Structure 1
Amino acid sequence: MICYNLSCDNGHGFEGWFSSSGDFERQANAHLVTCPTCGSGSVSKQLMAPTVSTARKKEARQALVMDQAQKETIAKLREMVKTIRANAEDVGERFPEEARKIHYGEADQRGLIGKATAEEASALLEEGIEITPLPVLPDDTN
């Protein structure tokens, strides 16, 4: 996981976690990265100092990772994702097709989860179909 310092065109700063630099670029290009303060989709990475791993810094870095507020936030996000998954139909790769069917009244209204490429997600948003990515949490990819 990579943590980027981000900012929107309104000057709000925030952090974003991504599985890779390419993952950030794909999500940003599909307008899936938005400012949590104002909702702006015009988001860019800020200049960051590289993190160099040393034995002396390991204990301090673990203290940051294990911060109670972060633990609570991740626990809440995990619970949110669990609730969404429990109350939605996982349609996998058929997500764009099924989302369109619901949007255009060709299928019953229901919660969906599934997979879409950045291009597919961007096309759905351009059609006015409201979608949002589920967060990938730190332990989900480790």
Structure 2
Amino acid sequence: MIVYDLECRGGSHRFEGWFKSSEDFARQKEMGLVSCPHCGSADVDKAVQAPRLARKGNQLPEPAMPRHEPRMPAQPAVAEAPAAAPAAAAPVANAPLPPEAVEMMHKLVKMQAEALKSSRYVGESFAEDARAMHYGEQEVETIHGHATLAEAEELLEEGIAVVPLPFPALPPDQAN
């Protein structure tokens, strides 16, 4: 269906008309079947209108699923969170964040940076090291690193505290 904004020339009334196609509108107009609902005038034409190009939220393409298991960093006291997946149902407006939100994120970044100063980066061996500390096989210390979602869930099931970091953290050898 096509929705046209229509306008009668006699009274300048504007209204909507729904048609199967552009040709259907022309045919109905030629036969005198299109008339103004306000004044009954058959002298009706398409009004100037903006194109309707935006997709509805339910028409957005589904995001592609990764072929490998995503890595979720985790650690007993501090951990790195997985990247947020884009929301398929509601596109985000391209507007600046409120100042309060920006201030809050800056505070979180500072808090995370302070926490990482007293934490040792263990990389991909995070789950193994956290488990060894929990079971007394290794000295307990605050660590951060990477774990798959499955590894993090297993640690939690074993009673090992892990917390994702709110922002990604670079390994020490990649930081400036």
TM-score interval, normalised by the smaller of the two chains: 0.5 to 0.7
**Distance in 2 (alpha carbons) for counterparts of 1:21 and 1:90:** 31
Q: Rg larger in 1 or in 2?
A: 2
Show CA shifts across 1:75-131 (max 9, x none).
Answer: 111011101211100000000000011101111111000000000000000000000
Structure 1 residues 16-35: aligned runs within 5 Å: none
More relative contact order, 1 or 2 (CA 8 Å, 6+ apart)? 2
TM-score, structure 1 as length reference: 0.54
**Distance in 2 (alpha carbons) for counterparts of 1:115 and 1:94:** 7
| Aligned amino acid, residue 73 of structure 1 | M
- The alignment's C-alpha RMSD in Å is 3.2
| Aligned amino acid, residue 114 of structure 1 | G
Runs of 4+ with deviation above 3 angstroms = 20-23
1:124 and 2:155 matched: yes
Identity between Structure 1 and Structure 2 (%):
34
Are the counterparts in 1 of residues 127 and 147 from structure 2 also a CA contact under 8 Å? yes
Structure 1 residues 40-59: aligned runs within 5 Å: 50-51=90-91, 58=94
Are the counterparts in 1 of residues 109 and 167 from structure 2 also a CA contact under 8 Å? no
Structure 1 residues 1-142: aligned runs within 5 Å: 50-51=90-91, 58=94, 61-62=95-96, 65=97, 67-136=98-167
Q: Pick closer, same or farther for the CA change 1:98–1:49 going to 2, 3 Å.
A: closer
| Aligned amino acid, residue 83 of structure 1 | E
2:113 is paired with a residue whose SS is helix
C-alpha displacement of 1:49 = 5.8
Pairs aligned (count): 90
Greater helix share, structure number = 1
2:164 is paired with a residue whose SS is coil
Q: Pick closer, same or farther for the CA change 1:48–1:94 going to 2, 3 Å.
A: closer
TM-score, structure 2 as length reference: 0.44
C-alpha displacement of 1:136 = 2.5
**Distance in 2 (alpha carbons) for counterparts of 1:132 and 1:52:** 27
